[in-house]
Amino acid sequence: MSEKTIAAISTAQGEGGIGVIRISGENALEIADKIFKNINNKKITEMKGYTAAFGKICHNCEEIDEAVALVFRAPHSYTGEDVVELSCHGGIYLTKQVLRAALSAGAYPAQAGEFTKRAFLNGKIDLTEAEAVIDLISAKSKSAARAALFVKDGALRRKIDSVKNDLLSITAHLSAWADYPEEDISEVTDDMIIDACKSSILTLEKLLSSYDSGQAVKQGIDTVIAGKPNVGKSTLMNLLSGCEKSIVTDIPGTTRDIVEDTVLVGDVILRLSDTAGLRETEDAVEKIGVDRARKRLSQCGLLLAVFDNSRELDGEDRVLLDSAKDVPSIAIINKTDLEQRLDISYISNNISKIVYISAVNGEGHEELVKAVEEIAGTASLNPSEGILSNERQRLAVSNALSSVEEAQNALSLGMTFDAVTVSLEDAISELLELTGEKTSDEVIDRVFHNFCVGK
Amino acid sequence: MTTYFAGNYDVAVIGAGHAGIEAALASARLGCKTAIFTINMDAVGNCPCNPSIGGTAKGHLVREIDALGGEMGKTADECFLQSRMLNRGKGPAVHSLRAQIDRRKYSDTMKHKLELQKNLELRQAEITEIQKSEHGYTLTTRMLAVYECKAVIIATGTYLGGRIFVGEVSYESGPDGIFPATELGKSLKNLELPLRRFKTGTPARVLKSSIDFSELEVQKGDEPPQPFSYETENLGENKVDCHISWTNENTKQVIIENIHRSPLYAGRIEGVGPRYCPSFEDKIMRFKDKPRHQLFIEPCGLGTEEMYLQGMSSSLPEEVQLKFYHTIKGLEHCVIMRPAYAIEYDCVDPLAMNATLEFKDFPNLYGAGQFNGSSGYEEAAAQGLVAGINAALKVLGKEQVVFTRDNSYIGTLVDDLVTKGASEPYRMMTSRSEYRLVLRQDNADERLTPLGYEIGLISEERYNKFLKKQEQKKTEIKRLKSTVISPTEEVNNILVSRETSEITTGVRLIDLLKRPQLGYEELKTVDTNRPQLDPNIFEQVEIEIKYEGYIQKQLKQVEQMRKLESKLLPKIFDYREIKGLRLEAQEKLNKIKPLNIGQASRISGVSPADISVLLIWLAQNK
């Protein structure tokens, strides 16, 4: 319980200059080392307390952001435990990414009030403050009770229940078969377990992918608008956002920095970055802008690659098309009001979704909305299917999924059923935790209900 | 009427069934002057139900009792008729030993052991009254003898307020036609122990010569059979066979036509029966679609022709029993020697007890066995051992022992009873343990013998033997790590025949053993330098190597639970005083008074948020 290392976003959720992800607990330094690459290669576990390092946050070998890591060693920290605070660029999307990296590196999502609770338990806060902590936790348990109630009838609950029931049927059958070998209980076959695993994996995977779509609805997709200078990116952005945020001129290279705005496109929130063009340049200031644009582009959740209908494809367009292969992209053919000189078939070989617009006339807006919704998965996102709504739920489902996969692997390796059961029970307990149930006797109840066993 | 003073005792045990026997032996062996009372001297260690010891999870309990220096395993070995390791092929966690035993011999052997035990006195007497006294408890017998005891263990089984039901017939009785204990219950009620009624039942015994075995499936014992006890060296041969038959549509028809005559269905039984141990009519009514049910025909001993019909428990009238038994293949002309019956009895709500099995509100008063709401000989013996050890330690002024979920099925059983309670007679099952791959029947000695030695129930000699075995095990693992097997044709032929991949370079023996398809048996021809060791060592080593990852995983969970269990909660405290706990949690915590945070977290109705509040409160009041 209090021994687990926890992590959470410690700054207010929303737009801000910086975001802080705090990791606290026995393994805080090790976990930070897994996701933070110090610029001078020094490990966080080797750093002293009250020191800082500059470096990059990586998840699955991909850079998420640059960050400053502040190291606090127990007991000299807010919670009294080892603590690492990662200060990265603000914004919901980025901080969530960093948090997710920390969670997949082994941290658990902190419960409301948990840092404070630990601070108290470790003697960092005095007695008078303890009352407030208790209030916080009991208030939390009340709101959790309300939330659980809400979840109880919801689509998510039904989804989770169906997986849980599939797995319970199998474990109950396994346990009846093992506990009552002298009853004529039908044998549990590998196929029965594999079938249950397969369907559970499918449902859990679907839920996980719905989380990203759900997040797209809730928190927005990091979207980059890119294209060579003067192709009309800023005009497009203004069209989308409905306000002039970038400096729009006809002189190439006037957009020098990443400017952000959040817009609602259909169901989807796009967090737009209007970038500088990708052309080679000697201008030092512009060069910085171009470099940043490239980097942003490689990390975004959606790329709107803008092309000029009236000009022929050039090297810069090709560079853009090349980078579009690695990220979800929509090709925007702008200036359809002008005569076509663009080789559209070359574009469609690289980006399958093409939308024709005239930013000047406002044409193609609907098609763009449709394309964005398709890419974000919200077009197929049916709220009645059940959506994971927070990081805790996502982690539980993701853990359950890996436990089921582990069971499947064990089986294919030829392990005996008692080993397979260990993994299946792990999955069930993750799901029970998610739905707020705490019944260790579920399996046994199922045995008595479904199987005729006796003396 | 005039009572007389019959003596002072450290520990008195009421009841000489499987719980009472282990309790009395443990107490006497730890040096306490102990008395054990039985209503009938011929009913000591009686097996009123199946003539067998062990079975799934129960076999684990017997091994654990033996590892701690208890008696059940040894006596079962001495009286065994046939033995089988159940669940072979389903994995080591669920392997369970079960032995058919000679039930009269078992009873006689146990009685004789009690008689021979130093510090122990066996008495035929019905305890009719229990009263608190200055230094413990005063027990009075029906013959008006008065015993002064420092500690008392109640192990009354199904005798306490026992009532038998057979169809419309019902009368006060213990099992097998023995007197029930009719007065003691009133006395316990006066003490305000939370008593309630439970129910169980047993099938008929039929005459062997009236059974036609010619078309029945034979079930033989294992060759060679394995003993329960780590001390048994020569178990001998299997002596009997069991037989299997099946019920059919006609059997079902008889039951359905006569179900109104069942006392349970007619509402005459108020006791709660176990779901896992239903009468045959229960099975038919609850699982109507099932066309047939299996039954086992088991001999009750070598010196008797009584045969036990496992699976055919019933409380229908005798004539109906006869009718439905006669529909079964092989039993068409069977003669019932003892009819099946249901029995209802008084037992206590185990939530009133600590994990030492001492009553929270009655210091030095302990309970064990069916009286605590469990069912089964092995469950009873396990609790008897726990209660006996703790009553003795308490009287001796030593610290009591709590068995834990991570060291034993015994600990799991006791923790379940005193933390979750028993809403029906509690039976041990492997699925009750969350640490199954750690708590295996093969490693009971490794888990518990050091503890048994520390308590004082394991002799120096046996302990040294145990240490030697552990040393040999270590050496063997070292050998497996350092022995390299070359990729010869012989080796690869074995690998291919076991459907596992061939080797091209030298591979350590330990890595070959990790493969699920390979074991010591398969590798014996290529493992030329294998030492001569106790087969149990090979078994343990192989399992530990093969299941290492899973065992580690469970050990990690164990570690987390231990941390929570090291946070102790006060024994006397009103949880209503803690602000922030939910009402349900306050009530449950007040009722159960968990020893530590870990136990509290297992109580249904105590949420993780409540546990947080408790942790803070604990830190506040350090």
Q: Which of residues 407-426 of A touch B (CB under 8 A)?
A: 413-419, 421-422, 425
Chain region(s) in chain A for CATH 3.40.50.300: 220-376
In a mutational test of the A interface, the residue from B49, B50, B94, B607 whose CB has the highest number of chain A CBs within 10 Å is B94
**Which residue on chain B is closest to A425 by alpha carbon?**
B434
Pick the closest to residue A5 from A130, A102, A140, A144 (CA basis).
A102
Residues of B in contact with A416 (CB under 8 A): 89-92, 516
Nearest partner of B563 among A75, A26, A399, judged by Cα: A26
Mean local confidence (pLDDT), B523-549: 92
- Neighboring chain B residues of A417 at a CB cutoff of 8 Å: 90-91, 94
Domain with CATH 1.20.120.430 in chain A: 154-213+390-450
| Beta-carbon pairs below 8 A across chains A and B | 154
Q: Which of A3, A177, A447 sits opposite B563 (nearest CB)?
A: A3
Q: Which one has a higher pLDDT value, B74 or B272?
A: B74
Lowest-pLDDT range, A158-172, A209-223, A246-260, B424-438? A246-260
pLDDT digits (tens, 9 = 90+) for B241-292: 999 999 999 999 999 999 999 887 777 777 776 665 678 998 888 888 889 9
DSSP state of A45: G
Q: Between these two residues, A164 and A338, which has the higher pLDDT value? A: A164
Does pLDDT of B299 surpass 90? yes
Q: How far is CA A226 from the centre of its chain?
A: 24
Q: What average pLDDT does this structure show over A259-275?
A: 69
Q: What is the pLDDT of residue A251?
A: 43
Cβ-based contacts of A452 with chain B (< 8 Å): 283, 286-287, 290, 293
Q: Domains in chain B and their CATH numbers? A: 205-342 (2.40.30.260), 471-552 (1.10.10.1800), 566-620 (1.10.150.570)
Where do the CATH 3.30.1360.120 domains begin and end in chain A? Answer: 6-144
Considering B150-154, B291-295, B488-492, the range whose residues carry the highest mean pLDDT is: B150-154
Confidence check: pLDDT of B44 > 80: yes
DSSP β-bridge partners for residue B181:
B160
**Count of CA atoms in the C-beta half-sphere (13 A) of B317:** 12
pLDDT of residue B75: 98
Count CB neighbours of A225 within 10 A.
28
Its sign, for the CA torsion B340, B345, B349, B353, is negative
What pLDDT is stored for residue A259 in this prediction? 47
The mean per-residue pLDDT over the stretch B79-95 comes to: 92
User: What CATH superfamily classification does A6-144 receive?
Assistant: Probable tRNA modification gtpase trme; domain 1 (3.30.1360.120)
pTM of the predicted structure, to 2 decimals: 0.79
The CATH homologous superfamily for domain A154-213+390-450 is tRNA modification GTPase MnmE domain 2 (1.20.120.430)
pLDDT tens, position by position, B418-471? 999 998 899 999 989 989 999 999 999 999 999 999 999 999 999 999 999 999
pLDDT for B127 beyond 80:
yes
Could you say which DSSP state residue B181 is in? B
Query: pLDDT tens digit string along A360-387?
Result: 676 777 788 888 877 776 555 555 556 6
- Per-residue confidence band for B97, with pLDDT thresholds at 50, 70 and 90: very high
Contact list, B564 vs chain A (CB under 8 Å)? 1
Contact between A455 and B620 using a beta-carbon 8 Å cutoff: no
Minimum-distance CB partner of B564 among A1, A141, A443 = A1
Mutation target to probe the B interface, by most B beta carbons within 10 A, among A179, A186, A449 is A179
Contacts of B287 in chain A (CB under 8 A): 452
Residues of chain A contacting B430 with CB distance shorter than 8 Å = 175, 178-179
Higher pLDDT: A242 or B468? It is B468
Average pLDDT over residues A134-154: 52
Domain A220-376 has CATH 3.90.180.10: no
- pLDDT for position A385: 57
Cβ distance of B436 and A1 shorter than 8 Å = no
Provide ipTM, 2 decimals: 0.82
Give contacts of B610 with chain A, Cβ < 8 Å: 141
Pick A127's closest partner by Cβ from B96, B431, B620.
Answer: B620
Residues A3, B313: C-beta atoms closer than 8 Å = no
Partners of residue B100 in chain A, C-beta under 8 Å: none
Shortest CB distance from B429 goes to which of A137, A179, A440?
A179
- Average of per-residue pLDDT values in chain A: 77
The span from the CA of A8 to the CA of A391, in Å, is 10
Interface touch B49/A448, C-beta < 8 Å: no
- The chain B residue lying nearest A127, using CA atoms, is B620
Give the separation between CA B392 and CA B401, rounded to whole angstroms. 11
* String of DSSP letters for B299-312: E--TT--EEEEET-
Q: Mean pLDDT score of chain B, rounded to an integer? A: 93
Check residue A127 and give its pLDDT: 55
pLDDT at B89: 83
pLDDT of residue A446: 63
Residue pair B227/B534 in contact by the 8 Å Cβ criterion: no
Cβ contact A178–B87 (<8 Å): yes
Determine the Cα–Cα distance for residues B622 and B617; give it in Å rounded to an integer. 9
- Residue B133 CA to residue A273 CA, distance in Å, equals 85
Can you give the pLDDT at residue A161? 87
Which of A102, A125, A73, A90 has the alpha carbon at shortest distance from A15?
A90
**Mean pLDDT, to the nearest integer, of B349-363?**
95
Q: Judge whether A439 is closer than 8 Å to chain B, CB to CB.
A: yes
> In the predicted model, is pLDDT for residue B51 greater than 80?
yes
